Chain A
Amino acid sequence: MRFRLSYFVIITSILLFAYFYSQNSIVTSSVVFTAIPFALPLALAAMVGVMCERTGIVNIGIEGTMLVSAFTAFFLGAILKNISAGLFVGIMTGVLVGLLLSVMTITWKMDQIIAGVIINIMAAGITSFLYRQNYSIPSTFTPIDIPVIGDIPVVGPIISNHGPITYLGIIFIFGLWVALYKTPWGLRSRSVGEHPSSADTAGVSVVRLRYINVTIAGAVGGLAGSYLALEAVGIFERGFTAGKGFTALAIMIFGRWNPLGAFAAALFFGLSQAVTNQLMIDEVVQIPQQFVTMLPYVLTILILAISAGKVRPPAAEGIPYEKEKV
């Protein structure tokens, strides 16, 4: 069932793309090209969710992680006049937030939803309070024209000429998929998220693995935030992440906690946004701007409504691990 559905989506997408490409190749390529920057922060944020939930920790603090990382990445980048330094600081901020979440949920065994809410509120508060106007970074990360691949007809112009974080992110997503399904780390992580006492009795430290994964996930959240501030937009505003961290959770569910599934779901989101934008620019449809900004949220609700009850989250998700209860 699952495979048939995904094949259907892929084939339909290719056919649609071919049709529009034959109608107007330039506009079609550019629409698909812009889908990627829309999709990437969602995809990376969804990876944060995948990494955490696969080991059994619910992370609804992705939004806050991205916001505070975007903040530190932007302002440090601006103050030091060095966006690479900004990127480093952004990722390290994510690591710290990840560690905070780990301490709260793994060591203190706090309710994981509340821990996530704390992170989100703290992030919104701190970034609003410390926000200052009139700062700017020297430049955003510049697009890379990939030599050979960029020259491939049709596909080349779409996948080439994105910024470095985009490529880093995409490589990470594929890497995460391989790691999750093909390495001991992945098998252990998944078993910790499904049935932690099995892992424990097999000599795998549940606490250690959860700490590692939530912290690395924090770094990925930092990368997503830094991407927004330093590569996609180049500025920082209050409430800058605009709910992407929450949308990412829907994407993660839609992608069935699978990195590639979530990536595909994020691309679908990005594409729908790119298409709507294009329709607005062409004035094909005349709808108020507000409805366009609503689109990601409406899609989120639709997706959750469609997939609710049909998907199966990791079984141990949200439950602190108690060793003596084996």
Chain B
Amino acid sequence: MTNLLDVEGLSKRFGTVQANQEISLSVKPGEIVALLGENGAGKSTLVKAVIGLVKPDSGTIRVKGQELPYGDTAGAIARGIGMVHQHFQLVPVMSVTENLVLGDEPTRFGFIQMQKARRETTELSKKYGLAIDGDAIIEDLPVGMAQRVEILKALRRDVSLLILDEPTAVLTPQETDELLEVLRNLAKKGVGILFITHKLREVMAIADRVVVLRNGKLVGTTTPKESSESQLAQMMVGREVVLHVEKGPGHPTGAALEVRELEVLDDRKLEAVKGLSLQVKAGEILGIAGVEGNGQRELVEAICGMRNRRRGTVLVAGKEVPNLKPHEVHAAGVAHIPEDRERHGLVASYSISDNLVLNQFDQEPYAKGWIRDLDAVARNGEELVKRYDIRTTSASAPASSLSGGNKQKTVVARELSQDLPVVVAAQPTRGVDVGSIEFIHKQLISARDRGAAVLLVSAELDEILSLSDRVAVLYGGKIVATFDSKNANRDEIGRLMAGSQGSRS
């Protein structure tokens, strides 16, 4: 049986960065190959070269034995390569059907046959068991559904090789499980799958073969049977990685953060947080588990003063913190690691040093009266870059020059270095490589150990379970149950997250 894809000796350099160096790889029909590596290891560059979105410097790409010219996207598509991009390649204002047919529309006399296209959508979604409404507008769909459309878009063109770039980065645990099931079914139908990820769990669950990249080089090929999560992590990072967070018992004292009867509206003016109350003690981590869209974002934003509290109060150390004044909330002692670091965590064009004092640039020692002390800012920048292992050429480089993991470390450094009594961390490791995840987890635990109250919101149930002292399940804008993490049961929490009633403790 000929391989679907053969890549031999592929190299690509961007400026001074060797993104890919002499990489060889193959995929057989019906095989699921996981391409594993940290952010910046060159996974995306490799698959983009295969699909023709990046022109390699050297090496050969063969599809079913036939050599593919460099940079020929249309040719790659025509030979049956489909790609599901990390950032969905869908037009948000158009319908599912329109997105599916874009670029290859069924026509008669020059006009698009919308009826036929709709029928095709229905047939396609039936054939692959991916239910979808063809007339739904993309921007109204939840992320998991939008991803289905991406997959269907690839399948519509009779793909024999489906490439997925970090497909689970944006998905909830349930959606991830569904996706893995879909991929397994596709492989059974003979489709080859090349699956980019840095999540070990998924690799172990689904891959037939694992190819590991590090710093643009191929460091090894193995199978889930022959290796373990920790071995894979070691190959990926190049050193031993502690996957299980090591933490001692917490020593909670009095309540440091208290939320009472909070009601918050979402962007569509619908009630997202419905009379929620919670308490985080100094010296503990309270994890909020929940499927995204159940009020997590609104809760965090309301606590941090970024969204109006329609009703209810937030208290830090027994004192009420003002509504809609993020700066004063910070002054009251709340550190905030926002969910979206690009929008709320950093100013991309500012230097790393400036970003590290974003919430205290006007205070001693970074300013004297009206005048900023740039030396103090720079000293602080250099120190934190070292202490928090932010990988950069210089602390005066713009934040935009950092990789995702290092951007997040910059935010973490700013928020945690001030030793504030309350820490609100929203999705602190989203889109971050394994090495940085380990580091950020350690930082959160050391914040707890020095006596901070940590409110951790994450879509990764594993993260919640491994870090938290107590776990609260958020569903429909309310906390439906709270567990001591020692008694927490993954399945039960999963059921509660999905909305079924469980026992309250």
Contact = CB atoms under 8 A, between A and B. Distances in A.
Contact of A191 (B91, B104, B111, B112): B91
Contacts of A195: 89-92
Interface string A179-216: 00011100110110011011111111000000000000
A210 B294 CA distance: 41
Given A194-B91, A203-B74, A326-B48, A187 B83 contact: no
Pick from B85, B90, B103, B110 the residue with the most CB of A within 10 Å. B103
Interface of chain B: mostly helix, strand, loop or mixed: loop
A184 B104 CA distance: 8
Given A194-B94, A195-B92, A183 B112 contact: yes
Interface in B90-112: 90-94, 98-99, 101-105, 107, 110-112
B54 interface: yes
A170 to B, nearest CB: 21
Contacts of B111: 182-183
A132 interface: no
Contacts of B91: 190-191, 194-195, 198-199
A202 B112 contact: no
B165 to A, nearest CB: 10
A315 interface: yes
Given A191-B102, A201-B89, A323 B53 contact: yes
B119 to A, nearest CB: 17
B92 A326 contact: no
Contacts of B74: 203
A324 to B, nearest CB: 7
A254 B279 CA distance: 51
B65 to A, nearest CB: 23
A186 to B, nearest CB: 8
A326 B53 contact: yes
- Classify the interface of chain A: helix, strand, loop or mixed: helix
A312 B73 CA distance: 31
Contacts, number: 71
Contacts of A204: 102-103
A202 B103 contact: yes
B103 A188 contact: yes
A188 B102 CA distance: 7
Contacts of B206: none
Contacts of A326: 48, 53, 85, 87, 89
B105 A187 contact: yes
Contacts of B77: 203
A77 B230 CA distance: 81
B112 A182 contact: yes
A180 B46 CA distance: 37
Given A191-B91, A198-B89, A203 B98 contact: no
B89 A202 contact: yes
A187 B112 contact: yes
Contact of A198 (B99, B107, B110): B99
B92 A315 contact: yes
A197 B112 contact: no
Contacts of A202: 89, 102-104, 153
B98 A187 contact: yes
Contacts of A315: 92-93
Interface string B64-95: 00000000011001000001010101111110
B73 A200 contact: yes
Interface string A147-191: 000000000000000000000000000000000001110011011
A202 B51 CA distance: 11
Contacts of A199: 91, 102-103
A233 B147 CA distance: 56
A182 B48 CA distance: 32
Query: Which of A187, A198, A323, A324 has most chain B Cβ within 10 Å?
Result: A198
Given A183-B112, A201-B83, A201-B85, A191 B53 contact: no
Contacts of B53: 201, 323-324, 326
B73 A203 contact: yes
Nearest to A324: B54
Nearest to A193: B91
Given A202-B104, A326-B85, 5 more contacts: A187-B105, A194-B91, A194-B93, A202-B102, A203-B104
11 contacts: A187-B98, A187-B102, A188-B102, A190-B94, A191-B102, A198-B89, A198-B102, A201-B85, A324-B54, A326-B85, A326-B87
Nearest 7 CB-CB pairings of A with B: A202-B103, A184-B105, A198-B89, A201-B89, A195-B91, A203-B74, A191-B91
